[in-house]
Structure 1
Amino acid sequence: MVKKLTRRWQLSRVRSGDGSALAEYRRWQLFSRSLFFLDLEPHVYAVDVRYLADAKTRKQHEDAVGKSPAALYRDGVQVFRSNLPAAFPVPGGVIEVATSAVGLKRMHFVPDHGGERTLRPHPRSQEGLRARFGRRFPRTSAAIGAVSLVILLVALVVGLLQGAEAVTKIPVVAEHVGTFTSPVHLPQWAKITLTVAGFFSVLERALRLRYNRLIDSVTS
């Protein structure tokens, strides 16, 4: 029920596009733009996400200043635009688009009959370069993915232990449940290292669209 209401809300925010042509992806847009494609015969759809909205874009999106605007193109022509998170209607389903603090967390085609699949990234985008690396070096790619997951799990456990210790230091809580002392106390350099490693781990997973609400929000 909640998912249906969320989908309906996202669809209600979609606006008609201005008919402009899809701009070519430039290398200098590597950290400010994501571009994905979906082949639905006889058309090719593209979703263009701009992380840094300029003044003109912000004016067009007055109800969501600071959020990343996205646009849907059909055969290179803009047909819809929306603030994020977005759900763009396409034949046979919708394209769900959402971002996290470090990148994308949703770029999926969700058919009406169920299931979903990830859109194809532009080969020169961050996501496209990561996907190409995964195809060329599958074992190394899998190892990097595993390390990223382990780092985030460690950060999650450490964060939960420290959070529990902080909560039980509150007099009212301590009076009813007692106090808890975390068995893990990291020196400052280790905390900084774990935070930095966690950030890059979240970024690496975002490039593969592997977002998990619990794990990937640890350092976001």
Structure 2
Amino acid sequence: MLSRALFYLPLDATESEGDRRVYAIDVPYWQRIATEDGNGKAHLYVDGRHHSVSTFPAAFPVEGGVIEVKPSAFGLRRCHYVPENGPERQLLPDSHSAEGRRARLDQEHPARGRLLGLLSLLVILLAVLLGVPQILEYLTEIPPIAERFGRFTSPINFPWWGNVLIGLAAATASVERATRLRYSWLDSMAQ
């Protein structure tokens, strides 16, 4: 469930090609860990057959437009179909993927979905507010920075296990946001 992202784009095909084409984007998250550059790849399937592969950011030309795929640190930042004319739209997540389960929660229980989204945002905000002063204190201990700007003493000092818990909470909240393809500068700070 958390090892890959799988999104679909059903498109009406031209009359000569048949009724409908189904494009699928498969992103194995483990590839990003296993590669030297940490970049990973996205795979395009057409009607269940492997069609092409691309490194990130990926742009797959398909009938009538392009499928754009961009990763984030915790999942995907973007997986959209951009037609030649008309508005872009997000691809549909597979129902068994984390993204599909999160979309189903939003559809079946909208109030719970909004609450979960709000909680994840609050956790990330709290982690940033608690973490930034501590990071500034460590940075201002570096002699060249201390000489130029002076030393900063953080009003917040947690033990190492407290900082680990804050980091895990921020990572969990960022994964939740990634399952909805939500991404902002806060998510990059939570890394």
TM-score bucket (shorter structure): 0.7 to 0.9
Gaps of 5+ in 2: 14-20
| Candidates 130, 134, 141, aligned match of 1:169 | 141
Letter paired with 1:164:
L
Tell me the residue number matched to 1:24: none
Gaps of 5+ in 1: 1-29
C-alpha RMSD of matched pairs (Å)? 2.5
1:48 has 2:20 as partner: no
Q: How many residues align?
A: 182
Report if aligned partners of 1:155, 1:218 keep a CA contact under 8 Å in 2. no
1:33 has 2:4 as partner: yes
Tell me the residue number matched to 1:76: 48
Deviations 1:30-58 (Å, cap 9, x if unpaired)?
232321111322222111222335xxxx9
Tell me the residue number matched to 1:190: 162
1:202 has 2:190 as partner: no
Q: What SS is found at the alignment partner of 2:166?
A: helix
Cα distance in 1 for partners of 2:86, 2:50 equals 26
Which has the larger displacement, 106-115 or 195-204?
106-115
Report if aligned partners of 1:96, 1:109 keep a CA contact under 8 Å in 2. yes
Q: CA deviation at 1:113?
A: 4.9
Change (3 A) 1:181 1:120: same
Cα distance in 1 for partners of 2:154, 2:88 equals 41
Cα distance in 2 for partners of 1:177, 1:102 equals 34
1:131 has 2:103 as partner: yes
With structure 2 as the length reference, what TM-score do the two structures score?
0.81
Cα distance in 2 for partners of 1:115, 1:157 equals 37
Report if aligned partners of 1:93, 1:109 keep a CA contact under 8 Å in 2. yes
Report if aligned partners of 1:102, 1:206 keep a CA contact under 8 Å in 2. yes
Deviations 1:37-93 (Å, cap 9, x if unpaired)?
11322222111222335xxxx9xxx9x776433221223333222223311112333
The structure where strand makes up a greater share of residues is 2
Tell me the residue number matched to 2:122: 150
Q: CA deviation at 1:143?
A: 0.9
With structure 1 as the length reference, what TM-score do the two structures score?
0.72
